[in-house]
Structure 1
Amino acid sequence: MKFFLWGIFICLSTLPAVQAQITQNATRQLRINEDDDFFNVWGRGTDRGYSNGTAIGYVYMKKKKSTFIDKWIFPKAGPYSVNVFEWDLMQVMITPDQIADSTFDPGDFYYAGALFATHGLTSYNPAKKFLVHTELVFGVLGPWAGAEQTQRLVHRLIHYQEPEGWGNQVPNAPLLNYNAYFEKMLWNPVKSVEALGGIEAQAGTMMTSLGAWVYGRYGLINPYFGALDLNAATRRKFQLYIFARPRFSLNLFNALLQGGIFKSTDTNFEELSNQQTSHMRRFTIGMDYGVGIGIGRTSIRYTQQTATAWMSGTGKHSVGNITLLIPLSKATYFPQ
């Protein structure tokens, strides 16, 4: 079975790879995103912790000015900004190390699933080389999210171990979050080298945290923050680059690790909480690294995301990510 999954991974990782930067002339695009801890460049795939996340999104630019929510809660990056909106639907699941065991392990993760939609704006300022990303997240946690059914179906299709412990998952709860991050160019000595810094904040019933990172990339690249001149922003029709992002997080709350806002009303979960010996780590550090390829407006990126333990006693964890961006329309640029 693992040889079968590894073959799938190899095939996906050789597809054309997603730009980390602005796609300044992509009016409408389809984005497919897959996180899985079996994906691992070192051949050390697992099936525990943050086990899987699958998302599909629609990325677009507008001719008309924003109204209602888009106008009031999504700030723009100034008069020269390039504004890229998005809608995404994502399902994520977290499982303990021993999924064949139906009993609760107090020193490991709870079973947890979430299903949520995201609506956001990434606003780039090509003149001052910074961006502001803001998003609203809303969805459900617990059995309502259908993560158990998804994992069971996939494991049956690939003839893998049946997960037996979903009776110990976090209870149902609504999710509502507002997230924002800011990135700014720090160093750009030549066209092939870029280094930038970023900070982020998340607040709501899904998670509350603060984070910071430094992101660097090298290769055949278009400008990360675009350019005032569209031809300069998209001068390369073929891109190939490597990247790395060391990061730090202060974690104040995470419903997938601790249970949602209604957890105290669920007597079964209260019993599990009283038994649990593991706890969420307040501070985590990590390193993301990988490779990206862009061919015109089609791109794919593979990222290996490694971080210290989210929960005490569970050890560091690594998750692979594949993101594919596919154009749905002809290249059109809407300056705003």
Structure 2
Amino acid sequence: MFSIRKSHLALSAAALIACFTSTAQAGDFLFQWDNDKVADTDRHYTNGMRIGYVPTKPAEMLTDTSDFLINTFGAGGFPNYPPGNLRIGWVFGQDMYTPEDVDATVPDPLDRPYAGWTYIGATVQNESDTGLTSLNQQDTLELDLGIVGPEARAGETQNRFHRLINVSESRGWDYQIGTEPGVLLTRTVKFRTDTWRPFDTDHFGFDAIPHVTAQLGNIRTGAAAGTTVRFGGNLGQDFGPIYGTFAVPRKTPDRFTWSLFAGAEARLVAHDIFLDGNTFKDSPDVKRNWFVLESRAGVMMHVPMPDGWGIDGVRLDVSHVQRTREFTTQDKSDRYGSFKLTLNY
């Protein structure tokens, strides 16, 4: 077994090598931060960090991976799309989960167990007006590989950050879910309605974006469906927010795009390693709820930059997320803030 430090460095190095060998420079970069402290809580899904990169000219290894994903899991959409429209990229992320009482040295066995998940992944995304329905459609596939448990280094990451901001450390990481390699396949399909323009201008309008998501793997298995309603300008440049932690860098819009959005998603949860515990050995666990609701509301702006600025566009998404109880002994719902910054080069 790798040491904790070696595993962490290997995952970090793999992500950096993947990004910087995919292309010379140009592309779209995503920096995502989810945290519950900004919503005045400190429990359960407590922090998530994610870096995404969609190069202008992806390397052969990346295109081979995308071909495998499309040919194996892209039925009903991807085969109908022009290959030149594909947006192929990499992601690197880390999620961390804690119980409500982080001061206890021995965690409450009825509360969510400590857990960390560090991963790298390949993504492929496309948009079309000739998909599964008559609506504009966006398909996204992602395959993540990583590690759960002490090797993920989530505990060290959290406590180092807490020391930096002068917050007490979480004391129960010695009781986290054990080490286990992880795989997670996710597919999301979005459908965008035509924009309703009550003022007969592209600067102000309304639309709706229904979506469906399926996940398969020893990290999570389940399905979800939801809808987002938006009010904003030039809404046809975009497909709205992402639910969960599954975000991909957005391409540069032709025009300034903005929106206020609100929506909800219903999830059927067949498996969640962060609640069910390790797959092949005993570990801390709680009894999960099979049905979970998540609501999300926020604001988004994507600004194309003038020539000569050295950057093509800047996008900012800020949202507040509310999630119902995920396990039977949870006493109240969770909430957190989500920030996403995209830079287009």
Superposed pair shares fold, TM > 0.5: yes
1:17 aligned residue: none
SS at match of 1:309: coil
Structure 1 unaligned residues grouped into runs of 5+: 1-25, 227-232, 330-336
**Structure 2 counterpart of 1:48, from 4, 23, 43:** 43
1:12 aligned residue: none
Q: Percent identity?
A: 23
Residue 207 (structure 2) pairs with residue 194 (structure 1): yes
- 1:1-336 alignment, distance < 5 Å: 28-40=27-39, 45-62=40-57, 67-74=63-70, 75=74, 76=78, 78-80=80-82, 82-126=85-129, 129-190=136-197, 191=202, 192-224=205-237, 234-236=253-255, 238-264=256-282, 269=283, 272-273=284-285, 278-296=286-304, 297-314=313-330, 315-327=332-344, 329=345
Q: Is the 8 A contact 2:90 2:120 kept in 1?
A: yes
Letter in 2 for 1:250: L
What's the CA shift for 1:78? Answer: 2.6
Q: Aligned partners of 2:291, 2:102: CA distance in 1, in Å?
A: 27
Q: Is the 8 A contact 1:61 1:83 kept in 2?
A: no
What's the CA shift for 1:94? Answer: 0.3
Q: Is the 8 A contact 2:58 2:88 kept in 1?
A: no
Q: Is the 8 A contact 1:39 1:321 kept in 2?
A: no
Q: Aligned partners of 2:137, 2:322: CA distance in 1, in Å?
A: 26
Letter in 2 for 1:294: H
Specify whether residues 239 and 33 from structure 1 end up closer, same or farther in structure 2 by C-alpha distance, changes over 3 A only.
Answer: same
Structure 2 unaligned residues grouped into runs of 5+: 1-24, 240-251, 305-312
What's the CA shift for 1:262? Answer: 2.9
Q: Aligned partners of 1:77, 1:214: CA distance in 2, in Å?
A: 25
Q: Aligned partners of 1:155, 1:28: CA distance in 2, in Å?
A: 33
What's the CA shift for 1:69? Answer: 2.3
Letter in 2 for 1:143: P
Q: Is the 8 A contact 2:235 2:258 kept in 1?
A: no
2:9 aligned residue: none
SS at match of 1:160: coil
What are the Cα deviations for residues 95-142 of structure 1, in whole angstroms up to 9, with x where unaligned?
A: 011111111202211000010112111111146510111111100000
Letter in 1 for 2:210: G
What's the CA shift for 1:62? Answer: 4.1
What are the Cα deviations for residues 260-299 of structure 1, in whole angstroms up to 9, with x where unaligned?
A: 32333xxxx3xx45xxxx4111001121110011221211
SS at match of 1:223: helix
SS at match of 2:236: coil
Q: TM-score, normalised by structure 1?
A: 0.78
Q: TM-score, normalised by structure 2?
A: 0.76
Which gives a bigger RCO, structure 1 or 2 (Cα 8 Å, sep 6+)? 1
